[in-house]
Amino acid sequence: MQTETGKKLMTGAEILLECLARENVDCFFGYPGGVTLPFYDALYDSHIRHVLVRHEENAAFAAEGYARATGRVGVCCATSGPGATNLVTGLVDAMMDSIPIVAITGQVHSKLIGSDAFQEADTFGITRSCTKHNYMVKNIDELPRIVHEAFYIASSGRPGPVLVDIPKDVFQARAHYTPVESIHLPGYKVFTEGHAGQIRRAAQLIFEAEKPFVYAGGGIIAANASAELTEFVELADAPTVTTLMGLGALSAAHPNYISMPGMHGSYAANMGMTDCDLLIALGVRFDDRVTGQLATFARHARVIHVDIDPAEVGKNRNPDIPIVGDVKRVLQKLIKNLQELEAEFKPKNAAARARWHAQINAWKAERPYDKPHSETDIKPQHLMEEIDRLSGGQAIVTSDVGQHQMWAAQLIRFNEPRLWINSGGLGAMGFGLPSALGAQMARPDKLVFSICGDGGFQMSVSELATIASHALPIKIIVMNNGYLGMVRQWQTLFYNNRLSAVTLDCFPDAEKLAAAYGFKGRTIDKPWQLTQALEEAINEPGPYLLNVKVTPDENVYPMVPAGGSINEMVFCPEPVLS
Amino acid sequence: MIQTISLLMENKPGALLRVTGVLAARGYNIESLTVAKTLDPELSRMTIVVDVEDRLRTQVIKQMSKLINVLQAVDMSDAPSVIRDLVLVRVRCPQESRAAVLKEAEIFHARVIDSSTDGFAIEATGEPGKLDEFIEVMRSYGESDVARSGAVSMSLEAKKLRLQPPVMTPVAVP
């Protein structure tokens, strides 16, 4: 592609590719169709890699996997009508988890818009509420500006999905391309620095607190603020939980680290949150799955809430100290303030702090996560423990949605950010496989596990073809319990065990299924096979499908029933001795 | 509680839908909405009157402020402001009450804009509550029909506009 394009007459499709190149896009995920033909024709000559997924929803999930693994903007592309509507779930998912992706959709010819033309859908209208911002390009002259704005909006402030809808005639039109040098969005408010006075007050509160507690989330990962978080929790001398979206933000090996909090969080995490006198909330949104009943959540605590999105501060819990800013910048300033105040304050409450850490450790010892093993069957927790041991806190693990997701989040430890990739806010089944595909494309150097349930795996099973076609060495681990396990768990616990529409029979033979796509697969159901089978999968240079039949009736504990207080957890009933 | 929101926004396609979408997504019904260009033709000012639960009032303003096309969203219920509404009333009245209708219109500083043997078309502006009274009075004279503009509001204090400065695009070409 020519880079000195100041005077060159280019088509809209060529201009789009030029803009993508300027945004450093090296690969994207898509599915062509009628109105994107001019774009795909131009792509034929481009150095940008295109990954042909087998369903547009998976293009969006793969772009998310790419973005989550790298922090860079993920890109997906679909044609008009059904292509665009298939992207919607992925867009909502990226919106809920604040993931930067740009979706490019084709639209019917400008003259046909509104005429119910073939493969026409009101993509601009449909995606308004599931994107951070969206555009319809009506003129080739505005195309470069819009593409760069889309990348800027997706990746700045609170990240999120942005969609650009491009009619066929805009792809085909020709114009003199002039590079866009600056973006002007006067109404786009990004607050980064945080209020100096509030930061100072926060630092004082942290030193005055006897029982401080850090509640860190996906915002730390989005802001690439793990190093700052680590320094901060050490200086603040505070026990720390990371949410489902924040796993790896603080290394699981760090002495201050407890676990994930919330509905399936650990006893120590939830007790600590309930009992603390100062809750330091960093890049989190007080999600209902974390807080349980809001009225009783951390009820004795003063709250410091740092978030880049002003609408999150005070949404669910009114903080004593609201700080709107980029959590990385705010933590840097907070660290500086703490260092200045350290000499004056630290000695005063050392005894109280020691009691607090001892209390946390006592809770940790009192009720660790259940790790049942069996001589005859594979317990799902056993599977996760083995994956944890083999990954050593270093592998990328993508998860689908359900019981396996919770067990993986509980038992697999992450020593770095951007290793744990899951659909947290939306809980979109089918996410696991395509997000692994995106993550492995972005990080060819990494061992990638895709942990799925037998339900979610079959929602995006079509991507086995994409994985095989690109020879991506993803280790697909199906935790197969023959049920839609999480729904089955709720039916067992809250619906008198009336198991309605949750049985998944007819799971395909994994070895034959993998062989049909040209790679290796295997089914195991005995605990003594587990380690060897996982090692075989890891040592295989290509993709591997490991179907692990686990005990079908296991429930995820501890569990805070929906709407309950998080210190009132339900634990696994003592097993009946047979 | 009824909330009056004033927005300064970019005059771009879809901007109106984004703003009303914030309300529609939460199931709020809009009482009135007006929008027109400002002195700067690229900007519009919108006044929305909507019934929002008290605890969500600031959340609604924050969600609107977040929209890329919105430069400023202000809750007018908390700020010194003027709110005006315009109403057109067509009233049918018998010959013997014509003089009385004209007298009432005068009391409300309303203007007759059309007169026929059947009755009048009258234009009035004022605070929304005052116009409610005017409409009631007109209806007492005979069959009436009304068209209202909805509230238009203006803050009485100049709030500083915080605008994002331009940023550079990536110039790196691989």
Its ipTM equals: 0.91
If you average pLDDT over residues A69-75, what whole number do you get? 98
All residues of chain B having their beta carbon less than 8 Å from the beta carbon of residue A148 are 169-170
d(CA A521, CA A170) in angstroms, rounded, equals 46
**Res B77: pLDDT:** 82
Q: Is the dihedral of CA A382, A384, A390, A392 positive or negative?
A: negative
**Res A2: pLDDT:** 47
Q: Which of A3, A133, A184 sits opposite B173 (nearest CB)?
A: A3
What are the CA-CA distances from residue A321 to residues A205, A331, A423, B57 (Å)? Answer: 9, 14, 30, 20
Question: Cβ of A111 under 8 Å from any chain B Cβ?
Answer: no
Q: Identify whether the C-beta of residue A480 lies closer than 8 Å to the C-beta of residue A486.
A: no
If you average pLDDT over residues A72-97, what whole number do you get? 98
Residue B67 to residue A310, Cβ atoms within 8 A: no
Nearest to A550 by CA among A372, A431, A389, A283: A372
The phi-psi region of residue A215 (left if phi > 0; otherwise alpha if psi is between -120 and 50; otherwise beta) is beta
Q: Which of B68, B70, B71 sits opposite A153 (nearest CB)?
A: B68
Side by side, which strands form the sheet with B2-10?
B30-37, B43-51, B2-10, B70-75
Question: Cβ of A6 under 8 Å from any chain B Cβ?
Answer: no
Q: Which of B65, B166, B172 sits opposite A182 (nearest CB)?
A: B166
Of A168, A211, A364, A549, which is the active-site residue? A168
**What phi and psi values does residue A384 have, to the nearest 5 degrees?**
-65, -40
Q: Which two tokens stand for residue A420?
A: 């744990």
Tally the C-alpha atoms within 13 A of residue A296's C-alpha that lie toward its C-beta. 11
* Cβ partners under 8 Å of residue A473, min gap 6: A440, A448, A540, A541, A542, A543, A544
Provide residues of B within 8 Å CB-CB of chain A: 9-10, 13-14, 17-18, 21, 25, 58-59, 62-63, 65-71, 162-164, 166-174
Residue A184 to residue B166, Cβ atoms within 8 A: yes
The phi-psi region of residue A24 (left if phi > 0; otherwise alpha if psi is between -120 and 50; otherwise beta) is left
User: Percent of chain A scored above 90 by pLDDT?
Assistant: 94
Q: Which two tokens stand for residue A379?
A: 């317990």
**Res B174: pLDDT:** 42
Nearest to A70 by CA among A102, A32, A31, A99: A99
Q: Which of B58, B167, B173 sits opposite A22 (nearest CB)?
A: B173
* The pLDDT of residue A394 is above 50: yes
* The pLDDT of residue A382 is above 80: yes
Given pLDDT bands bounded at 50, 70 and 90, which one contains residue A350? confident
d(CA B105, CA B99) in angstroms, rounded, equals 10
Of A245, A429, A441, A486, which is the active-site residue? A486
Concatenate the DSSP letters of all residues of B84-139 into one string.
EEEEEEEEE--GGGHHHHHHHHHHTT-EEEEE-SSEEEEEEEE-HHHHHHHHHHHH
Question: Cβ of A148 under 8 Å from any chain B Cβ?
Answer: yes
Tally the C-alpha atoms within 13 A of residue A124's C-alpha that lie toward its C-beta. 17
d(CA A577, CA A159) in angstroms, rounded, equals 51
Instruction: Kindly state the DSSP code that residue A177 receives in the 8-state scheme.
Output: -
| Catalytic-residue membership of A486 | yes
* The pLDDT of residue A473 is above 50: yes
* The pLDDT of residue A526 is above 60: yes
Given pLDDT bands bounded at 50, 70 and 90, which one contains residue A345? confident
| Selected residue of A4, A185, A308 to mutate for chain B interface (largest B Cβ count, 10 A) | A185
d(CA A350, CA A363) in angstroms, rounded, equals 20
All residues of chain A having their beta carbon less than 8 Å from the beta carbon of residue B38 are none
Q: Identify whether the C-beta of residue A547 lies closer than 8 Å to the C-beta of residue A524.
A: yes
All residues of chain A having their beta carbon less than 8 Å from the beta carbon of residue B169 are 22, 148, 152, 179-183
Question: Measured between alpha carbons, how far apart are the two ends of chain A, in Å?
Answer: 71
Of A18, A56, A149, A312, which is the active-site residue? A56
Residue B59 to residue A133, Cβ atoms within 8 A: no
d(CA A89, CA A312) in angstroms, rounded, equals 22
Residue A182 to residue B169, Cβ atoms within 8 A: yes
Given pLDDT bands bounded at 50, 70 and 90, which one contains residue A168? very high
Q: Which two tokens stand for residue A335?
A: 């660290």
| Selected residue of A8, A19, A133 to mutate for chain B interface (largest B Cβ count, 10 A) | A133
* The pLDDT of residue A348 is above 90: no
d(CA A288, CA A266) in angstroms, rounded, equals 16
d(CA A515, CA A545) in angstroms, rounded, equals 10
Q: How close does chain B come to A476, measured CA to CA in Å? A: 34
Q: Identify whether the C-beta of residue A202 lies closer than 8 Å to the C-beta of residue A327.
A: no
**Res A344: pLDDT:** 77
Q: Which two tokens stand for residue A515?
A: 């062989």
**Res B125: pLDDT:** 97
If you average pLDDT over residues A395-417, what whole number do you get? 98
Concatenate the DSSP letters of all residues of A126-173 into one string.
HTGGGSSEEEE--SGGGHHHHHHHHHHHHHSSS--EEEEEEEHHHHH-
Question: Cβ of A136 under 8 Å from any chain B Cβ?
Answer: yes
Question: Measured between alpha carbons, how far apart are the two ends of chain B, in Å?
Answer: 56
Q: Is the dihedral of CA A420, A423, A424, A425 positive or negative?
A: positive
* The pLDDT of residue A1 is above 50: no
If you average pLDDT over residues A77-102, what whole number do you get? 98
If you average pLDDT over residues A281-309, what whole number do you get? 96
Q: Which residue has 């309300």 as its token pair?
A: B23
Weakly modelled stretches of chain B, pLDDT under 50: 172-174
Nearest to A211 by CA among A232, A243, A238: A238
* The pLDDT of residue A446 is above 90: yes
**Res B173: pLDDT:** 46
d(CA B101, CA B119) in angstroms, rounded, equals 9
If you average pLDDT over residues A382-387, what whole number do you get? 98
Concatenate the DSSP letters of all residues of A382-397 into one string.
HHHHHHHHHHTT-SEE
Mean pLDDT for all residues in chain A: 95
Q: Identify whether the C-beta of residue A162 lies closer than 8 Å to the C-beta of residue A132.
A: yes
* A257-284 per-position pLDDT tens digit: 999 999 999 999 999 999 999 999 999 9
Chain-centroid distance, C-alpha A221: 10
**Res B164: pLDDT:** 85
Q: Which residues of A482-507 are buried (b: 16+ CB within 10 A; e: fewer)?
A: bbbbbbbbbbbeeeeeeeeebebeeb
* The pLDDT of residue A575 is above 80: no
Question: Cβ of A129 under 8 Å from any chain B Cβ?
Answer: yes
Residue A164, beta-bridge partner list: A104, A135
Question: Residue B15 is inside which H or E element, if any?
Answer: helix B15-24
| Catalytic-residue membership of A118 | yes
Q: Which of B68, B70, B168 sits opposite A181 (nearest CB)?
A: B168
* The pLDDT of residue A162 is above 90: yes
All residues of chain B having their beta carbon less than 8 Å from the beta carbon of residue A151 are 170
- Which SS3 state, helix, strand or coil, does residue B155 take? strand
Report which residue type is found at A422. N
Q: How close does chain B come to A134, measured CA to CA in Å? A: 9
**Res B74: pLDDT:** 92
All residues of chain A having their beta carbon less than 8 Å from the beta carbon of residue B9 are 187
**Res A6: pLDDT:** 52
d(CA A156, CA A71) in angstroms, rounded, equals 11
d(CA A362, CA A360) in angstroms, rounded, equals 5
Q: Which residue has 């799925």 as its token pair?
A: A452
